Amino acid sequence: MSAILKKGAKEILTELEHNSKRFNELARRVRVDSSKLSKHTLIRRLLELEKDGLVFRTVYHSRPPKVVYKIAPEGRKLIQMIRDLKKRRKRPRK
């Protein structure tokens, strides 16, 4: 579960929350190569998130090869927990 603490992981899960995406589409959405994440880091982060059970990776054996990433139920729960924590933090204390 340590992958969520690494650079770009939350952004990846947020992008996958509503729709599955191919690698290049995901790379554009998380601003790869504009000092946010490198493609190499994005690949590593996706593999780590898959290993942690937060993302599903589907490989279609076609020409050209097609890889689609989709958020797993555990990833969806985690994103919701993060949002809930942010809401709590923003509430004024009594």
pLDDT in tens, 68-84: 999 999 999 999 998 88
* Domains of the chain by start residue, with CATH: 2-90 (1.10.10.10)
Average pLDDT, the chain: 87
Exposure string over 72-93, b if 16+ CB within 10 A, otherwise e: beebeebbeeeeeeeeeeeeee
pLDDT band, residue 28 (cuts 50/70/90): confident
pLDDT of 82 reads 86
pLDDT of 93 reads 65
More confident residue, 85 or 70: 70
Is the per-residue pLDDT at 61 higher than 70? yes
pLDDT band, residue 48 (cuts 50/70/90): very high
Q: Which two tokens mark 74?
A: 């555990």
Q: What single letter denotes the amino acid at residue 68?
A: V
* 18-27 pLDDT tens trace: 999 999 999 8
Length of the chain counted residue by residue = 94
